[in-house]
Amino acid sequence: MFAVPENTVAGADTPPTVHPALIARQYAEDRSRWAHLLRYDPDERYAVLVHHTADQEVWLMSWLPGQRTDPHDHGPATGAFTVVSGELTEHVLRDGRTHTLVAGQSRVFAPGYGHEVRNEGRDPAVSLHVYRGVRTMNSYPRTDPAHLRRAS
């Protein structure tokens, strides 16, 4: 059993199509909305804003093999990401678990959710990320073992 933070659960009055994971999947399925923005950067993970409203942002990211984020959280924002192609590995800072995601799979996050995402595969990966609320990026040093136990 696991606990789901209240701010990541859609209320009864919220249409199910507005959940961040569903929005990410809808964007993933409609390549015409973002294919023209896709690029690969040999030096770092590529990220570009696809769409934004007053309530949310949708980002496209591409990952060449070996590219990764630093350990981080998104401050008070909630959201989700969906793998469009390739394979991504997420390391959750709070519990040390690792999740490997392939095309069509998603992960949801709550405020303060610390993680690190990387492409450990042999092929490039593409993902779509939806952020709700004020998004800030709080990075943690890779060499600091305290980040592994920081509360999510």
Please enumerate, by residue number, every residue annotated as part of a binding site for Fe cation. Answer: 72, 74, 115
Which segments are annotated as binding site?
72, 74, 115
Contact 83, 103 (CB under 8 A): yes
Rounded Cα distance between 127 and 96, Å, is: 22
d(CA 54, CA 46): 24
φ, ψ (nearest 5 deg) of residue 125: -125, 155
The amino acid at residue 3 is A
94 CB burial (10 A radius; 0-12, 13-18, 19+): middle
- Hey, what are 124's tokens? 């490039």
CA 146 to chain centre: 22
